[in-house]
Amino acid sequence: MADSGVSRAAVLTGAMRIELAEFPLPQVSHDDALLAVAASGICGSDIHYRAEPDIYPRVLGHEVVGRIAAIGDTAARNWGVDAGDLVAVESEITCGLCRGCLRGGYCTGARYYGCSIPVDVAPSLWGGLAQHMYLAPRSVVTRLDPGISAATAGGWFSPLTNAVDWIGPLGADVQPGDTVVILGPGPQGIAACIVAKARGAAQVIIVGLRRDESRLRAACELGADHIVVADEESTVEAVRRLTDGELADSVLDVSGADSSAEVAAHLVKRGGAIAAASPLNRPGIVLPVSDMVMKQVRWHGMRSNRASAAPVAALLLKAHASKLDPLVTHAFPLEQSSAAIDAIASAAPTAGNAPIKVVVCP
């Protein structure tokens, strides 16, 4: 493709409207690079990005894996990668200059691949739903084992990076021997099962609905010890039974359900931790704050991950690749990027063939 001098991209040109366009391939300088995209994972955020009434036109796709097509000498040295390497790209591009960056905290001037940069900012190729993506200076790029399937990496690297932080000390803070409850068996919940076991959890309980059967089974393949089917039994009663009345040391809420914030608070034992990545901005969502105060619960809101999670995710991806391969259940070509987002959006799964992870392979 590089020979033609252009790259095709799926461009969001208005709310719910994605159209193919071509952009010239940029020349690489000393501190940047060009990625030949192999696979872009689609996640729940893309449903919201596609429907947003602003930032047009732009290229979506923020869970991006590909091969380095061209790279400057400084970037190659700083990032530890070379042309031809299979890499995963963190969506955040930090400024490196603000006080947050300099103190090792949150960047106040961050930009995000597949999300925040419109195509009228050169060189336009700022998202993974394209044949090529531009890798700006200060990108965070992680070399992957060359034997891993690019689709598997595109589907699972990003959920694993999040899970490393959401299950780790910043979030649910799972310690060896702990019981952890994971609310929601989507890709994020499944990745969390892997990380919880890697951190030494004695018991991982995955909670979903009857319609999530294939996802719940996948979670058990990857570390969950018990399934609770929340529309058939009380989650609190089930966890009480599975823990001899002690309840959970920690809870990760990645369900997206309205009731999950409240359920999480009832599942966690005194002094335990809750990591919540489900949005709370809908009417009717209850957070029982006084219960949480009396139990001295540590409650952490979770969003994305730190760059330090990426190398850990690469190791976990390699260790579990053969089990994750079949969990990329849907792969779409670039022309069907919108259908790929539909597949996630309509994940009201009919039994059996519910999507687990969806990727676009440009």
Closer of 95 and 285 to Zn ion (Cβ): 95
Instruction: Rule CB under 5 A: choose which of 6, 98, 220, 321 binds Zn ion.
Output: 98
CB atoms within 10 A of CB 171: 26
Residue 34: CB partners within 8 Å, gap ≥ 6?
A: 2, 25, 26, 28, 68, 69, 70, 71, 132, 133, 134, 135
State the nearest-atom distance from the C-beta of 80 to Zn ion, in Å: 22
Nearer to Zn ion, 83 or 110 (CB): 110
| Interface residue with Zn ion, options 34, 64, 107, 205 (CB under 5 A) | 107
Shortest distance in whole angstroms from residue 302 CB to Zn ion: 13
Q: Is 316 helix (H, G, I), strand (E, B) or coil?
A: helix
How many Cβ atoms are within 10 Å of 34's Cβ, its own excluded? 23
Q: Applying CB under 5 A, which part among 104-112, 118-126, 149-157, 257-265 lies near Zn ion?
A: 104-112
Residues between 77 and 96 with contacts to Zn ion, criterion CB under 5 A: 94-95
274: tokens are: 């809750």
Residue 178 C-beta: closest distance to Zn ion, Å = 27
Measured from the CB atom, is 95 or 361 closer to Zn ion? 95
Asked if the peptide bond before residue 185 counts as cis, ω within 30 degrees of 0, the response is no
**Separation between Cα atoms, residue 247 and residue 263, nearest integer Å:** 12
Site for Zn ion in 336-355 (CB under 5 A): none
Six-digit token string for 338: 């919108």
* Nearer Cβ to Zn ion (45/259): 45
Region 23-52 residues binding Zn ion, contact defined as CB under 5 A: 43, 45
Closest to Zn ion by CB, 9 vs 107, is: 107
- Assess 136 for contact with Zn ion (CB under 5 A): no
What are 87's two structure tokens?
């890499």
Say how many residues touch Zn ion, by CB under 5 A. 8
Least distance in Å: CB of 188 to Zn ion? 9
Q: Does residue 65 contact residue 153 with C-beta atoms inside 8 Å? A: yes
Shortest spacing between CB 141 and Zn ion, in angstroms: 17
d(C-alpha 30, C-alpha 291), whole Å: 55
DSSP assignment letter at 25: P
Binding footprint of Zn ion on the chain (CB under 5 A): 43, 45, 94-95, 98, 101, 107, 109
